[in-house]
Structure 1
Amino acid sequence: MTSRFVELAWRETPMGAISLRRRLDPSLKVEVYEAKLDDEFLMSSLFTVAEVELARLGLADAAGADLDVVVGGLGLGYTARTVLADRRVRSLAVVEALDEVIEWHRQGLLPFAADLTSDPRTRLIQGDFFAMADSAEGFDRDEPGRRFHVVLVDIDHTPRHLLHPSHAAFYTPQGLCGLTDHLHPGGVFALWSNDPPDEDFTAVLAEVFAAPQAHVVSFHNPLQQRRATNTVYVARMA
């Protein structure tokens, strides 16, 4: 085991101070990697079930092989690495707003980062996912207008609890219609949320996509010794 607490990275950004730390949890006796934005926890290696399920559920709804996938939000990389575990995936573009988070992976500050950075299918792109979704150019600067088969998003806490007010337009019918311009016919959009299923947001999805579903993902919270849940929304283009 390493020392009890180590701050691996810290930097001021336009969104606030972003930090990565590693700590030894005394009760669980495991190393935990955590990211914070100012005083708000963004992600933890203790709670990764829903991030994995975001990729698994989104890809399960995708048809065919040679899939081109976008992940919005890199974080600790659990969603992206689960995407790469699917042999049907031909390419993966991971869009992350904070270059600092990309550098955590490129510098190997996370012990599992090499699984992502060494895979030739992967491109780590520094950029604003929401601005790209709303643009004609889309998610590939080398091939403007390129379409993808699957788009997976884990950025905001929920469609209502946002990291930045500018993200709000994405969670409207107009914003989601902009995203569909970057999906192939039959393409899949999946979204992680920290809250229980939101009927109003499911109705918004239904205005744009065919038969959206809200999957409740249950997992054990070892800190509180109880079951916890997140939601993964999955929607397919007609």
Structure 2
Amino acid sequence: MITRFEELDWQSTPIGDLTLRRRTEPAVGQEIYEVKLGDEYLMSSLFTVAEEELADLGLAAVAGDGLSVLVGGLGLGYTAVAVLQDARVTSLTVIDRLGAVIGWHERNLLPVSAELVDDARTTLVEDDFFAVMRSAPVEGRGGYSAILLDVDHSPRHQLDPTHADLYDAAGLRALDRHLAAEGIFALWSDDPPDDDFMIELNAVFDDAVAHVVDFENAVTGGMSSNTVYVARSRGTGSASLDSTPAHADKDA
């Protein structure tokens, strides 16, 4: 079978050349969408189970209604759209460092774009999620019911070395300040459960669990797996790290 290939967008970004492309995948006989950063594959619409489970597992751990959710990393949009399928969600903020990615959805280039951007609950923000988490919550914002993060490959393998400080106890405490009492932090990882990261997670949060998400891999003919970490805020994060400087403007 001849593979049909179309480059939908290419842009130079501060972290490398970003490409969105659409092609036919012979293994499944359907169109798929892929994102590359330089020569590295970041994501594919062929594998979305774990991205959706990030939302489902994270929100399943949240009690109550009127949920305010923050997603770090927009990508192809599958986590964000899975959040919107929970009727308890009243607001969804998605932060992505790359304006190009937000532009893809605003131009309806991806299969879930319309569902995402046409929902009145959705706000897309171009900013550095990691810098936002380091900063003190802005008055009138924060207090999220859940923060869901899917940017790096794993706590050990980051797209940008400046992200590394989020994955230790101090960085997690900074993130915790942005959660409501007993709010949920959930994280996608491409690696198996990491015992060292679980130690850091348990130092800050309660009820930390590493869920292994298995899914069929049509390309290899076997099974693949990702990890989704889910942990509950102790409600003490806002009292910590008060000396953290305010977040600079996003274009700084």
TM-score higher than 0.5: yes
Q: Report what 1:65 is aligned to.
A: 65
Q: Report what 1:196 is aligned to.
A: 192
Between the aligned partners of 1:181 and 1:137, the Cα distance in structure 2 is 7
Letter in 2 for 1:205: L
- Paired residue for 1:219, among 199, 215, 223? 215
Between the aligned partners of 1:176 and 1:63, the Cα distance in structure 2 is 21
1:54-107 deviation digits (Å, cap 9, x = unpaired) = 000000000100000000000000000000000000100000000000000000
TM-score (norm 2): 0.90
Residue 163, structure 1, aligned to residue 159, structure 2: yes
Residue 148, structure 1, aligned to residue 134, structure 2: no
Q: Report what 2:8 is aligned to.
A: 8
**How much is the aligned-residue C-alpha RMSD, in angstroms?**
1.1
Q: Check whether the contact 2:145–2:183 (CA below 8 A) recurs between aligned residues.
A: yes
Aligned 1:1-238 pairs, distance under 5 A = 4-137=4-137, 145-238=141-234
| 3-state SS of 2:75 partner | coil
Percent of aligned pairs with the same residue? 54
Q: Check whether the contact 1:136–1:145 (CA below 8 A) recurs between aligned residues.
A: no
Q: CA deviation at 1:145?
A: 4.4
Between the aligned partners of 2:157 and 2:134, the Cα distance in structure 1 is 20
Gap runs ≥5 in structure 1:
none
Between the aligned partners of 1:144 and 1:169, the Cα distance in structure 2 is 26
Q: Check whether the contact 1:136–1:144 (CA below 8 A) recurs between aligned residues.
A: no
Between the aligned partners of 2:210 and 2:111, the Cα distance in structure 1 is 32
Q: Check whether the contact 2:169–2:201 (CA below 8 A) recurs between aligned residues.
A: yes
TM-score (norm 1): 0.95
| 3-state SS of 2:108 partner | coil
| 3-state SS of 1:104 partner | helix
Between the aligned partners of 2:168 and 2:76, the Cα distance in structure 1 is 27
1:146-169 deviation digits (Å, cap 9, x = unpaired) = 311100000000000000000000
Q: CA deviation at 1:144?
A: 5.1
Q: Which runs of 4+ in 1 moved over 3 A?
A: none
